[in-house]
Amino acid sequence: MTPASFRKIVWAHYKKHGRHDLPWRKTHDVYKVLVSEVMLQQTQVERVIPFYKKFIKQFQTAKKLAAVPLSQVLTAWQGLGYNRRAKMLHTAAKKLAARKSISIAGLEELPGVGPYTACAIAAFAGNKNVIFIETNIRTAIIHYFFPGKKKVSDALIEKVLIQVLPKGKSREWYSALMDYGAHLKREGISHNARSKKYVKQAKFTGSLREARGAILRALASTRKYQGEALLNVLGVRRKTQMKTALNALCTEGLVQKRSNAFVLPS
């Protein structure tokens, strides 16, 4: 497979089947792209779409998001999971709102923004010629350039990405490449298990992550909970796990204790 042949395959699929209507693909605004990237971390596109639309409607700019209390952000986030992302996004919005412009290095300084997210924002908001990898990109590259090879490193994938990147078309190219990788997965072709980065996700039901989500969901709906009642939200049998989750949430600043009650942070 040559870079030119690969590009031809990806572009052809994108032209005919690309997800051109995804709401975050209709903006070049750094803040709005940041919101989409944070929401898409470990969450499927279909689930993110309605949350993204509602969130952006409620918090149209970084300045507006930065101005509201964290409790309001956490309430708006309910249903997406991984609530730490909401807190980090809220903090990132405060820093972003204070800047007139921001570089890729500057993006990496924002809470919850690592090298991948920074480069993704640089590509989708700024059309910069950057290299980054996510699950659908891995699938597409491994499928065509490393057939039969096991434990493919990201370093090898990056070398291919440098060769296939059409300079000056980063924004559209990565959209097309992700869409093509997603298409391969729907066809039953997924090679991420052959990646050195592959880690099988733990089950959600019965997990500490489920307990954390239950606590925040309860506080978002009721605003205030007495400690004993909050620990029994998932039943008496999971009380010990709920206590562990609650202590962690308090330490992380996602929940606050006031007298004998617990609330979302102001």
- Chain centroid, CA 64 distance in Å: 21
- Planar angle of CA 119, 125, 128, nearest 5 degrees: 55
Taking the C-alpha atoms of residue 66 and residue 73, their distance in angstroms, rounded to an integer, is 10
Burial track 164-192 (b if 16+ CB lie within 10 A, e otherwise) = bbeeebbbbbbbbbbbbbbbbbeeeebbb
CA distances from 207 to 203, 242, 245 (A): 7, 10, 10
- How buried is residue 4: exposed, middle or buried, by Cβ count under 10 Å (0-12/13-18/19+)? exposed
| Residue positions annotated with a catalytic role | 37
Is 177 within 8 Å of 132 (Cβ atoms)? no
